[in-house]
C-alpha cells in the first residue's frame, strides 16, 4: 500500500548562507495493508520529516513514494489533494483549525469533504468524540480553547472519522492519560483489522510494542547523524 524507493531529502536554507542539510538518504521500505510500522530513532533522526514527505507536506528530492498507484514525488497538487481526501489520513501532533468552528464540525469535516450527508457525518463525529471522552458540552465549542490533551483527542477523532486505507500517525498517544491512550490504541488496532496500512511514530514504547508489527530505525538513513532537534535542526554540512 505504501512503498518508498531510494528516497532522499535535503533542506537548502537560502537565507542562512545557503546551508544545505542532508536529512535523509536512500530510504526504501514498504507497508502492506493491515500492517503497522513504527518509525524509531533519536530526536532529529528525521522521523517526522520522513512522515511529512510521505504526506506530500515536504518536497522529496529523489526517489519515489507510492501510495496505492500514485507516486507522491511526481504527482500534481490536485492528485495529492484527492489522495489526502480519500486514501491517506494524517494525525499530526498539532490541531490546526479555522477559529470559531464547533468541534463537532471539525471532526465531521473530512467526511463532509467526501460528500457524506451532514447528518451521517455528524453521527460518526459524535460517536468518536464520545469514545474519546470529550464531554458533550464541549462539542458545540471551537477546540481552539481546549486543553492540550483535549485538542490532541479532537485531532485523533478527526483523523479516524474516515476509514482511510493508509494512515500516518505522529505521536498519537502523547499527552494522553491511560484511559484515552487505551481508546486510541484500540482505534489503531481497529484500523489495522479493517486493512489500513499504518506508519506511526510512538515514543511510548509499550504502545509501540502493542500495535507495531515492525520497527524501522530512521537513524540508519540519516547521513552523519550526531544529534540535533527534529526536522530542520543544526546544519550538519554546509555547501556555502
Q: Which chain residues interact with another protein by CB under 8 A?
A: 11-15, 52, 56-59, 77-78, 80-81, 96, 98-101, 112-113
Angle at 129 between CA 185 and CA 155, to 5 degrees: 65
- Measured from the CB atom, the residue of 24 and 132 that comes closer to another protein is 24
The least CB distance from residue 35 to another protein, in Å, is 27
The least CB distance from residue 112 to another protein, in Å, is 7
- Measured from the CB atom, the residue of 33 and 235 that comes closer to another protein is 235
Using CA atoms, how far residue 137 sits from 27, 141, 173, in Å, is: 46, 8, 24
What nine digits make up the cell of 125? 463525529
Do you know the residue count of the chain?
240
Name the DSSP class of 71: E
- Measured from the CB atom, the residue of 27 and 184 that comes closer to another protein is 27
Q: How far apart are CA 128 and CA 144, in angstroms?
A: 18
- Measured from the CB atom, the residue of 65 and 184 that comes closer to another protein is 65
The least CB distance from residue 113 to another protein, in Å, is 7
Q: How far apart are CA 238 and CA 39, in angstroms?
A: 27
The least CB distance from residue 99 to another protein, in Å, is 4
Name the DSSP class of 220: G
Amino acid at each position: 500500500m505504501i512503498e518508498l524507493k531510494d528516497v532522499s531529502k535535503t533542506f537548502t536554507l537560502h537565507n542562512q548562507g545557503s546551508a544545505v542539510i542532508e536529512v535523509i538518504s536512500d530510504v526504501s521500505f514498504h507497508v502492506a495493508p493491515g500492517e503497522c510500522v513504527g518509525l524509531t530513532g533519536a530526536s532529529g533522526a528525521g522521523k517526522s520529516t520522513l512522515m511529512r514527505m510521505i504526506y506530500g507536506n515536504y518536497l522529496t528530492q529523489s526517489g519515489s513514494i507510492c501510495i496505492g498507484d500514485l507516486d507522491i514525488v511526481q504527482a500534481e497538487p490536485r492528485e495529492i489533494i484527492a489522495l489526502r481526501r480519500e486514501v491517506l489520513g494524517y494525525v499530526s501532533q498539532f490541531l490546526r483549525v479555522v477559529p470559531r468552528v464547533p468541534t463537532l464540525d471539525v471532526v465531521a469535516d473530512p467526511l463532509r469533504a467526501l460528500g457524506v450527508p451532514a447528518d451521517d457525518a455528524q453521527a460518526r463525529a459524535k460517536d468518536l468524540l464520545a469514545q474519546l471522552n470529550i464531554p458533550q458540552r464541549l462539542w458545540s465549542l471551537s477546540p481552539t480553547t481546549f486543553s492540550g490533551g483535549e485538542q490532541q483527542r479532537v485531532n485523533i477523532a478527526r483523523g479516524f472519522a474516515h476509514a482511510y486505507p493508509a494512515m500516518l500517525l505522529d505521536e498519537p498517544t502523547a499527552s494522553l492519560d491511560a484511559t484515552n491512550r487505551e481508546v486510541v490504541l484500540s482505534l489503531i488496532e481497529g484500523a489495522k483489522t479493517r486493512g489500513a496500512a499504518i506508519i506511526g511514530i510512538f515514543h511510548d514504547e509499550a504502545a509501540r510494542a502493542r500495535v507495531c508489527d515492525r520497527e524501522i530505525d530512521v537513524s540508519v538513513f540519516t547521513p552523519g547523524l550526531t544529534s540535533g532537534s527534529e526536522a530542520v535542526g543544526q546544519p550538519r554540512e554546509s555547501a556555502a
